[in-house]
Structure 1
Amino acid sequence: MNEYLVIILIIVIVLIFNNLNAKIRKLEKEVSDLNAKIGKITDTETFRGKTQSDKNSLPSQTPIDTPYNKEEQIPVSHETLPASDQKEWMSPVFDFLKQNVLTIIGIFTLVLGIGYFVKYAIDKNWIGETARAGIGLCTGAGIILTGHFLRKNYAVFASIITGGGIAVLYFTATIAFREYHLFTQNTAFLITSVITAVSIILSYYYKSEVLMIFSLLGGFAAPLMISTGQSNYPFLFIYLSLLNTGMLVAAYLRNWKNIGWTAFILTSLYLFYWSTEKPELLTIVFYMISYIIFYIFALQDYFKKNTLAVFSILMLAMINFSGIVGPVYIFNELEHEPVIIFPIIFALVNAIFFFRENMEKNFGIPYSVFTGITVSLITIAFAIQFKAHLITSVWAIEATLLLFIWKKTGHTIFKNCFYLLFPLLITAQIITWTEYFNEKKLNIIFNPVFLTSLVTVISTITNLFLLKSTHRESRQNNNFAEGSITIASYGIIYIALLSELTYHISGMPWEALIHVGLMFSIYYIFILLLLRKKMDLPPVFQNIFIYFFLFLLGINSSVSVLSVVTAILAKKLHTGFYLLHFFQWIPFIYLYVRVIPSSDFHRTKISYWVLALTGVIVVSCGLHHSYLLVFAQDTPHSYKIREHFNILYLPIIWTILASIFMYTGLKKNITEYSKTGFALIGIMVLKLYAHDVWQMDNISRVIAFIILGVILLLSSFTFQRLKNIIKNMVDKKDQNDGETQTPPD
């Protein structure tokens, strides 16, 4: 009874649909006639208005040559960006989905409904296995015929309907082979190949790229559908090569772009899986065939119009780099040489087009693209020859290439691809650094880990200079992405160099490791500040680096150097190692004399206090450590020497430094330095009278008080004299200004 109700319901739905379809066609005809009448009226009025306007403006107008877009006949400005940059490149996809989402869901639901109906019929034992396959094939053919009859008035709808019918045929053939065993694997493959060929022919005949994509998806899925688990890779890739060749012909004749990307992604997945599953030399042949097919696909516009579209450039970059990874991986696994043959071959291919553009003096976008790809491939060849890690090196250079192409073309898609690839590069580089923990003995510099890091460092530095011109715009627009990439780039360079350095001195005591790491960090920040103008370093970054430099300098002078002195006294380090810390004075003095005055570091008052505190720590600790190293014979004896220095000499040092601060503050009219000097004297006096005086013997007490008293009196006298000189200069200046402003009698 239920079956009869379903049949009656289907008949009613068909009748209703047919009735509605007839009414819709009638309405479409009426709307079409009405549009035709309105168009005639509008054209007549436009012609009259234009004629009248031409008559009125004829005497005063001069002819102007305005460039026009050939397709839209709209005037375009020479200064505007290409049309592809003015709109989102994903908008056509979203428009297609919005307009056809119901159709896609509908055909998917219909296929499921048919499947459930067949399952229900099987459960009731209505039909046998052969009949089931026959029903599936007939249903798929019926859906395709339905799409064929609807193609004239509903092109996209018909393409989706036809794609659903093709899917039914694929699934029917698969189930008939895998579940019912109605025919052999060769027969199943032949059937799926025929389905693929028919679907491609229908796509070309209907001029439907949507249907072509469905056909490709089915064609690439067919080997998986009929697979028995036995690897017959040569046969598989002969089939895929023929499928890609058909795609290339259709894409060239119909100028379809999306099918090429679909085929490229699916082919790459097959090739990469095959390379890792069973690396063999035969695979390289199919890599080369795929490279040729997709390279020609990417150059369609170049051959036709001597131009390169956005996605053509992206395809060139992708195919040149992905085509290297597989063959080089196979050569490394099979231990064949030379692996650089593949990037060199690809570089020569691109160099041909580069020289062609150069000979014809065409220095536009194609010239820049072929130049960038050629140089990148040669760089990869050198990196691979020196045994750098493949994926990390390829991603580093490809990221730089994408950024370079963006700078040359202005197409934001390349910048977005760079943003997506950069985090992957960082992840790959971090994995590469972990090999320092696993390798026991690596050569200095010429080892795979550091050479890979070196490629990443060079790529990162290049990226920073390519982004240099956009830093100002990024700061105005508060571009978080570029700011994050800049910070991450400095971090990559820092960790890459520090990791190599730390690895090769890892056998030294931990005091030496910490001290060398801090010294390296100090000089790294110092170099960044030296190159701040060339790198267009934002003022905020400059101030952060200066504060961080002073912090590291203070930590190194107080804690790290003291641990080094202790290790030297314990005979764990050589005395000469102590001399290393004196090199920190060079960047500190240069920073104070040249870098800080030319920056806006002193825009806040706290900066003077931080700078003064760092100076006090560096001078005090430097003299303390030197005194300890000279007079202490061993570690136990050093405690008494240290206490003696802190009680007797440290107040004198602080008093001298405080006097220098106060003198500098008065001379340069910087009140913060004067305040710093007075604060330091206050701390010294408090320390002297609260602690030190009770720890001294009588002779030390007399010496300390006399020296401190003399220093304080001389400082006071100097300040009074300097203050009077400044006061006299100000009074004289005011008097001269008054005489100048007084008119003569």
Structure 2
Amino acid sequence: MSEFLLVILIIVVLFLIFNNLNSKIRRLEKQISDLNLKITQPQQNTSIQEEPKEELPDHVSTSNPTESISIHQDSHRETIPSVPEKDWLAPVFDFLKQNVLTIIGIFTLVLGIGYFVKYAIDKNWIGETARAGIGLAAGAGIMLAGHFLRKNYAVFASIITGGGIAVLYFTTTIAFREYHLFTQNTAFVITTLITIVSIALAYYYKSEILIIFAMLGGFSAPLMISTGQSNYLFLFTYLTLLNIGMLAAAFLKNWKSVGWTAYTFTSIYLFYWTSEKTELLSIVFYMISYFIFYVFALQDYVKKNTLSQWNTLMLVLINFSSIIGLIYTFKTLNYEPVIIFPLLFAVANGLLLVREYGKKNFGFSYSIFAALTISLFTVAVALQFKAHLITSVWAVESTLLLYIWKKSGHHIFKKCFYVLFPLVIIAQIITWAEYFNAKNMNIVFNPVFLTSLVTIATTIFNLFLLKRINNTQKTEDRFFENTFAVVSYGVIYLAFLLEIIYHISDMPGPAIMSIGLLFSIYYIFILLLLRKKLDIDGFIHTGLIYLFLILAAFNASFAASEVVTSVLQKELTFGFYMIHLLYWVPFIYILWKPSSISHFYKTNISYWAISITLVISISCGFYNTYVLGSVNELSPIYKVKEHFTILYLPIIWTVLASIFIYISLKKTIPEYSRIGFVLIGIMVLKLYSYDVWQMDNISRITAFIILGIILLLSSFTFQRIKNLIKNIVDKKEE
């Protein structure tokens, strides 16, 4: 008991010290205010007196005073520095910097009271009822201290009062859960009364900080007094009343943070209820919550006929979060039609759109209501065709956020877009995983691909929006936009590729690989053709060309060899091999029209990449065609391959080398000459080190004669071209 008396004595001493210091501080504040009053009074007196007029120089005309005033104002306006726009988190950090000690102090005080009560319990000084009484008295005392400090220290008093509210909540919780001093209904009534008193005090003190404490306590109260039994009707009736009080406070005091706090807790409770125990009753509370927070989001629109960035974000979130919960409930309970909710919300936003249209007001509000209406209608259409809920809703919502950013310029929507878009990708990947388990799905008209179509449509729309937004930005400032573009093109590619592979999965492996490569080559080719409209440039354009060349070389070599083997094994027909050769169409177009990839030819390595791909494609193309035309089964294929490699491959390389050197001389591209001579060197090295020892006499003589003739003709052609160029240069000098 002596420790208890010692603690009380210390508290009394601290109170006396604080009271003494507080009195001194008040006297100092009064002296400072008196000094300020004495300093400001003479300045006010001198400002009343008429200032003497400055004599103007003779060359300054005073005939037009308005002009001189305007010039002075303009020069003054130019010298005023523009006020930098503050970050939206700056007020939060300012508040924390100024009040961090107060927050830590009240938190420490609450913990101290708690540890003291625990210590008293361990010593058996007080019983259970007395413990609860001490806690309630301590909470009330802290709130009373905050009440007396509110006039001179408003923020400090609000935090103190909030700490007292926290003590009352936790004391009631402990008294109910640990000591069983009263029933659940009594505990709920007490916590409700604490919430009502807290909200009333916040309104009376005009303190937004205090009402946030009250809302946190009000939404936490059901968890504090929960016994594990799920009485959702009672719970959400209480939450609805709490949200109505929030709505009233938000409209009366324009406290935005209160609405966001209520929305966060309400959404968590609703989603938990929906996932834990899906029942039809939850739909009623989803609709009630939608109405409350929709009205909250429109408070500035009702008062000022405008929408702020936070109100716009709330409109987006409440529409799409409500749709997710409502449609999930309908689908789980097998109710139809699921599209009734997005259509209903689309009508609600459409009415506001019609209102703006009737007033001929085509500003930001009109754009937002139009975007919401179209987005909700799009979600309804996607769901009607059995698209997956989460993926479709998030895809449409991300596009809506990007559109709002474009219309408003508020970067909060851009940040939300960059947070939501990765979630769209993750949801889409989970949707694609169903290809591995689903059977007998229809072509195109199946839930997985219809969901992919929604993602594709929104992604394409996003790309065009970003293109318009970024027209004025520098390339080095577009890292995230370029990353988004790469990911977007990848998503579109995978959506189509996986659908194609699913429907040809019964074909042999080489056929699946060949069709997948053909699609990949043509997809990249289409992107290259549309590069200007899609704003594809820089490293994305270069990367696409390199990827195209790699796929073309791989398709001509490894994939073609596998297809030939399958044809000889009678798994595929010769007609499929001809289809496989369609990859030459885009390749020939690129070679025939180098202007389509002119940006690519800025480095020497690009000429080597094109040339190597061309050599591989032509060599493997002739090789595979020769094999299929020479044999009908696999057994003699080794001899045919050996014969082609020794006899025909050096001829093909010699012709290609000659073509490279000819192009180099004609178009003055030195790199092609190097490529040609390197290819000739490889061919000669192969010929004299290996091929001649594998040939019979007739083949050896034939090969040498043909190669000799080709080399002589090439040399003669090069000499003529050199002489022609020399004559042209000499004529110009004359």
With normalisation by structure 2, the TM-score equals: 0.94
Which amino acid is the alignment partner of residue 689 of structure 1?
A: Y
* Number of the residue aligned with 2:431: 432
* Number of the residue aligned with 2:389: 390
**Unpaired runs of at least 5, structure 1:** 69-73, 736-745
Contact 2:515 / 2:580 at 8 angstroms: preserved in 1? no
**Which sits farther off after the overlay, 366-375 or 213-222?**
366-375
Report whether the alignment pairs 1:399 with 2:398. yes
* Number of the residue aligned with 2:25: 24
C-alpha offsets along residues 509-544 of structure 1, whole Å, 9 cap, x if unaligned? 211122122112111211111111111112221111
SS of aligned partner of 1:649: helix
C-alpha offsets along residues 212-239 of structure 1, whole Å, 9 cap, x if unaligned? 0001111111111111111110111111
Taking the aligned partners of 1:361 and 1:655, their CA distance within structure 2 comes to 74
* Number of the residue aligned with 2:326: 327
Aligned pairs for 1:114-513 (under 5 A) are 114-471=113-470, 475-513=474-512
Aligned pairs for 1:697-716 (under 5 A) are 697-716=696-715
Report whether the alignment pairs 1:668 with 2:667. yes
Taking the aligned partners of 2:281 and 2:732, their CA distance within structure 1 comes to 91
Which amino acid is the alignment partner of residue 262 of structure 1?
A: T
C-alpha offsets along residues 78-109 of structure 1, whole Å, 9 cap, x if unaligned? xx9xx9x9221111111111111111111111
Alignment: residue pair count: 725
Report whether the alignment pairs 1:33 with 2:34. yes
Taking the aligned partners of 1:54 and 1:466, their CA distance within structure 2 comes to 59
* Identical columns (%): 63
The 3 A distance-change label for structure 1 pair 49 and 650 is: farther
Taking the aligned partners of 2:8 and 2:313, their CA distance within structure 1 comes to 53
* Number of the residue aligned with 1:106: 105
* Number of the residue aligned with 2:620: 621
Which amino acid is the alignment partner of residue 320 of structure 1?
A: N
Contact 2:149 / 2:157 at 8 angstroms: preserved in 1? yes
**Which sits farther off after the overlay, 54-63 or 717-726?**
54-63
The 3 A distance-change label for structure 1 pair 336 and 573 is: same
Taking the aligned partners of 1:38 and 1:595, their CA distance within structure 2 comes to 80
**Which sits farther off after the overlay, 54-63 or 280-289?**
54-63
C-alpha offsets along residues 325-382 of structure 1, whole Å, 9 cap, x if unaligned? 0000000000111101111111111111112222222222111111111111111111
Contact 2:528 / 2:596 at 8 angstroms: preserved in 1? no
> CA offset at residue 701 of structure 1?
2.1
SS of aligned partner of 1:265: helix
SS of aligned partner of 2:593: helix
Q: What is the root-mean-square deviation of aligned Cα atoms in Å?
A: 2.4
**Which sits farther off after the overlay, 349-358 or 121-130?**
121-130
Taking the aligned partners of 1:54 and 1:302, their CA distance within structure 2 comes to 54
SS of aligned partner of 2:713: helix
C-alpha offsets along residues 472-501 of structure 1, whole Å, 9 cap, x if unaligned? 665544443223222222221222221111
Taking the aligned partners of 2:310 and 2:654, their CA distance within structure 1 comes to 70
> CA offset at residue 471 of structure 1?
4.3
**Which sits farther off after the overlay, 243-252 or 375-384?**
375-384
Taking the aligned partners of 1:266 and 1:64, their CA distance within structure 2 comes to 57
**Unpaired runs of at least 5, structure 2:** none
Which amino acid is the alignment partner of residue 213 of structure 2?
A: F
The 3 A distance-change label for structure 1 pair 568 and 206 is: same
SS of aligned partner of 2:449: helix
With normalisation by structure 1, the TM-score equals: 0.93
SS of aligned partner of 1:446: coil
Taking the aligned partners of 1:37 and 1:438, their CA distance within structure 2 comes to 85
> CA offset at residue 470 of structure 1?
4.4
Taking the aligned partners of 2:191 and 2:383, their CA distance within structure 1 comes to 42
Taking the aligned partners of 2:599 and 2:701, their CA distance within structure 1 comes to 46
Contact 1:471 / 1:536 at 8 angstroms: preserved in 2? no
SS of aligned partner of 1:467: helix
Taking the aligned partners of 2:227 and 2:295, their CA distance within structure 1 comes to 34
Contact 2:330 / 2:338 at 8 angstroms: preserved in 1? yes
Taking the aligned partners of 2:305 and 2:496, their CA distance within structure 1 comes to 44
Taking the aligned partners of 2:105 and 2:200, their CA distance within structure 1 comes to 25
C-alpha offsets along residues 628-677 of structure 1, whole Å, 9 cap, x if unaligned? 11111111122111111111211221121111111111111111112222
Which amino acid is the alignment partner of residue 600 of structure 1?
A: H
**Which sits farther off after the overlay, 314-323 or 355-364?**
355-364
Which amino acid is the alignment partner of residue 3 of structure 2?
A: N
Which amino acid is the alignment partner of residue 601 of structure 2?
A: H
Contact 2:406 / 2:469 at 8 angstroms: preserved in 1? no
> CA offset at residue 3 of structure 1?
2.9
Taking the aligned partners of 2:139 and 2:622, their CA distance within structure 1 comes to 91
Taking the aligned partners of 2:51 and 2:393, their CA distance within structure 1 comes to 60
**Which sits farther off after the overlay, 709-718 or 269-278?**
709-718
* Number of the residue aligned with 1:730: 729
Which amino acid is the alignment partner of residue 348 of structure 1?
A: V
Contact 2:250 / 2:258 at 8 angstroms: preserved in 1? yes
> CA offset at residue 578 of structure 1?
0.5
Aligned pairs for 1:674-693 (under 5 A) are 674-693=673-692
> CA offset at residue 49 of structure 1?
8.8
Taking the aligned partners of 1:210 and 1:131, their CA distance within structure 2 comes to 31
**Which sits farther off after the overlay, 706-715 or 219-228?**
706-715
> CA offset at residue 455 of structure 1?
1.4
SS of aligned partner of 2:635: helix
Which amino acid is the alignment partner of residue 409 of structure 1?
A: S
C-alpha offsets along residues 223-282 of structure 1, whole Å, 9 cap, x if unaligned? 111111111101111110110000000110001100000000000000000011111111
Which amino acid is the alignment partner of residue 523 of structure 2?
A: Y
> CA offset at residue 42 of structure 1?
4.4
Which amino acid is the alignment partner of residue 28 of structure 1?
A: E
The 3 A distance-change label for structure 1 pair 342 and 537 is: same
Contact 1:539 / 1:599 at 8 angstroms: preserved in 2? no
Taking the aligned partners of 2:365 and 2:256, their CA distance within structure 1 comes to 18
SS of aligned partner of 2:636: helix
